[in-house]
Structure 1
Amino acid sequence: MAETIADDTTETASSIPVDVDWAFAASVGRRIARPGPRVTRYTMEQARAELTDAAVRAEGPVREVTGLADGLRVPAARVVDRAGWIDAASTSMPAMVSDSDEPATGVGAKLAGLQAGGLLAFLSSAILGQYDPFTVDAETGEPGVLLLVAPNIIAVERQLRAAPADFRLWVCLHEVTHRVQFSANPWISGYMRDTVGSLAGGDEDSMTEMLARVTEALRSGKPREKGMIGVMQLLQSPEQYAAFERMLALGTLLEGHADHVMDAVGPAHVPSVEQIRAGFDARRTAARNPLQRLFRALIGMDAKMAQYVRGKAFVDEVVDTVGMERFNTIWTSPDTLPLMSEIDEPSTWIDRVL
């Protein structure tokens, strides 16, 4: 949950090169990350305990609404600070984008690490929670770790003037939905890894080839996506852009489904959910200065915000039309996932798959 409640692993991984010195990236990120809000030790310990408990309490209602992961073990969440999130992300990223256990070395890997460290530092203050399907849980030895970033959750609940207990459970409902999505459908993590591999694999196109694609697109006059997605469409090879679209469609589904579940569960378990949702949506759309808008556009965060809106609308319409049980057909295989063209036309997914 990125200032929205985002799991940003997919988009971040698709924008970072494979050969990164991740240990250096983590050290850079920790060094330049902004400090969190000022809190007493007692307040932080209380928040950690409450978030740990809320992550467990959220599991039952999420399973009931989704019909997923029934009977599976309820793992404990890891409550971390910003430095802890950076360390976790720097471990997860290489597991996602590379099959090699050997760390990248050399000047190029250091430069890429510097870039990645700056990105991790920025995201460390925006992420409220994240389910990481690629990191192995040290206690269970199984893949999959739910991270909750306590200082960021405290900062947002203060800004929204939300009841801390309600807001913390609300955040956990979203993040636990991600955990349930992956634990009930283990093939998704492999599909995600393969898709990222398609994005990063192959020889780099020459500048001449990229310019040729841009020129041809401009001459053809064919409609293209707007914003950052349109840029990716122009600069990537057809194979890479197809992989990018698959990743975008998956991310839109995962986030939209989590937002749908959060709102379905919320009224019965979070007394002030309407106030929280209203304040949170206003925060998402708040005006930002030009530098913030530029940086968010460059790292794809504004596209991430759109994923919540488009994805939730898709899930809402399909569930309203066919019910949650038939909606869950979507988790069967890559072939039953929605195409990007179907996200805004849910009836076309229903016709194709159901």
Structure 2
Amino acid sequence: MNLYRSARAVAGASGDDMIDWESAADAAKAVTDPGSLDLEPGEREAYARDVRDAREGIREVSGAAFDVPDTIEVQNRHHWIDANIATFERVMGTLQHQLPDGAFPGVARTINTGTMTVLLAFLGRNVLGQYDPLLLAETPEDDHALYFVRPNILSAAESLEVDPERFRRWIAFHEVTHAAEFGAAPWLSDHLEARMEEGISTLSEGSFDRDAFRELDATMTVVEGYAELLMDHAFDGEYADLRRKLDARRQGRGPLQQLLRRLLGLGLKERQYQRGKQFFETVVERRDLETAGLVWEGPDALPTQDELDAPGLWLERVDP
């Protein structure tokens, strides 16, 4: 790691945008060990096999017609930062376009760039796998992508004292469940993008669109909860110990890491997992897995915030 090079990159932030994205990426990589991509013989094929097996298993239990992304990458940490800086820039660019010219003078730009550096560096050292629907992509050929951050997977497996191949396979199944959701619901990307743009637009005007953010939270709760449901039914092995150990690892982080997780909204994501999983478990208990899949019939079929806490209300509305 090179703290001096990172600080120099942040201090040299320039341009007209709220964040100097190139400087943020350079600074984040300067303080992040990229990790090794020296794959063992057959390891790349093992990643591909895990993804194929996950696709077939999830297709079978969900009945959803979907395919995995064309882009499947085994990355190091620097690759992940480079892949995601464009995503952050697209999302934040929505806010940038709502603001008057000159809204971000040099000092503010430097602070924003430093904040983005911390975010990218922290996530780059912790993300295991990622299904990226490439929201707000401008060109049709930008489809969706699936990333595996090999150094983080190996490091986490070692610290959790679990078999790295089984752990890698579990990560593959989880990320492919998200591909299944977006494949089963072609409208989902547009729905998420619209809610994001609505919320960001009002923030730029100095107000807060509570309804837009509540709807975005409800949708993401469904996305995370349905993924957990499919994992329970599709993964071809025992994984309760993996989840238990990973949850314990998250809870056992130091005060600074816990603070960063809260600031980055990772605690919210875990709440979405738990709340969404409980919703779908209740739906399947009262009906079946096929009924749970009705959430992807269209935006109107998504449960509201109230229905997430009372699945019976949702069932009465969509499958009386």
**1:254 is the counterpart of 2:223:** yes
Partner of 1:64: 60
* Residue segments in structure 2 that go unaligned for 5+ positions in a row: 1-16
The one-letter amino acid of 1:309's match is: Q
Q: Is the 8 A contact 2:95 2:204 kept in 1?
A: no
Q: Is the 8 A contact 2:295 2:303 kept in 1?
A: yes
Partner of 1:195: 195
Partner of 2:148: 148
Q: Is the 8 A contact 1:86 1:120 kept in 2?
A: yes
Counting matched residue pairs gives 295
Partner of 1:85: 80
- Partner-residue secondary structure (3-state), 1:146: strand
Identity %: 32
Q: Distance between the aligned counterparts of 1:203 and 1:329, measured in 2?
A: 33
After superposition, residues 289-300 of structure 1 pair within 5 angstroms as 289-300=254-265
Deviation at 1:67, TM superposition (A): 1.5
Partner of 2:317: 352
1:328 paired residue among 275, 287, 293:
293
Partner of 1:131: 131
Deviation at 1:60, TM superposition (A): 0.5
Deviation at 1:287, TM superposition (A): 3.0
- Partner-residue secondary structure (3-state), 1:288: coil
Distance 1:346 1:164, change over 3 A: same
Greater relative contact order: 1 or 2 (C-alpha under 8 angstroms, separation 6 or more)? Answer: 1
Q: Distance between the aligned counterparts of 1:204 and 1:73, measured in 2?
A: 36
**1:343 is the counterpart of 2:308:** yes
Q: Distance between the aligned counterparts of 1:42 and 1:64, measured in 2?
A: 31
Q: Distance between the aligned counterparts of 1:136 and 1:307, measured in 2?
A: 23
Q: Distance between the aligned counterparts of 1:81 and 1:73, measured in 2?
A: 21
Distance 1:148 1:42, change over 3 A: closer
Q: Distance between the aligned counterparts of 1:202 and 1:276, measured in 2?
A: 41
Deviation at 1:261, TM superposition (A): 1.2
Distance 1:148 1:348, change over 3 A: same
Distance 1:169 1:249, change over 3 A: same
Question: Which 10-residue stretch deviates more, 108-117 or 119-128?
Answer: 108-117
Deviation at 1:80, TM superposition (A): 0.9
Deviation at 1:119, TM superposition (A): 0.4
Q: Distance between the aligned counterparts of 2:202 and 2:121, measured in 1?
A: 29
Distance 1:97 1:342, change over 3 A: farther
Deviation at 1:319, TM superposition (A): 2.0
Q: Is the 8 A contact 2:50 2:169 kept in 1?
A: yes
Q: Distance between the aligned counterparts of 1:135 and 1:202, measured in 2?
A: 19
- Partner-residue secondary structure (3-state), 2:133: strand
- Partner-residue secondary structure (3-state), 1:338: coil
Q: Distance between the aligned counterparts of 1:148 and 1:31, measured in 2?
A: 21
Deviation at 1:254, TM superposition (A): 1.0
Deviation at 1:74, TM superposition (A): 6.2
Q: Is the 8 A contact 2:21 2:113 kept in 1?
A: yes
* Residue segments in structure 1 that go unaligned for 5+ positions in a row: 1-17, 207-235
- Partner-residue secondary structure (3-state), 2:130: strand
The one-letter amino acid of 2:247's match is: D
After superposition, residues 89-104 of structure 1 pair within 5 angstroms as 89-98=84-93
1:278 paired residue among 220, 244, 247:
244
- Partner-residue secondary structure (3-state), 1:20: coil
Q: Distance between the aligned counterparts of 1:41 and 1:342, measured in 2?
A: 48
- Partner-residue secondary structure (3-state), 1:319: helix
Q: What TM-score results when the alignment is normalised by the length of structure 1?
A: 0.74
Distance 1:63 1:112, change over 3 A: same
The one-letter amino acid of 1:314's match is: F
Question: Which 10-residue stretch deviates more, 302-311 or 291-300?
Answer: 291-300
The one-character-per-residue Cα deviations of 1:67-118 (angstroms, maximum 9, x if unpaired) are: 2125x4663521111111111111122334546999x996344542332121
Partner of 1:177: 177
- Partner-residue secondary structure (3-state), 2:243: helix
Q: What TM-score results when the alignment is normalised by the length of structure 2?
A: 0.81
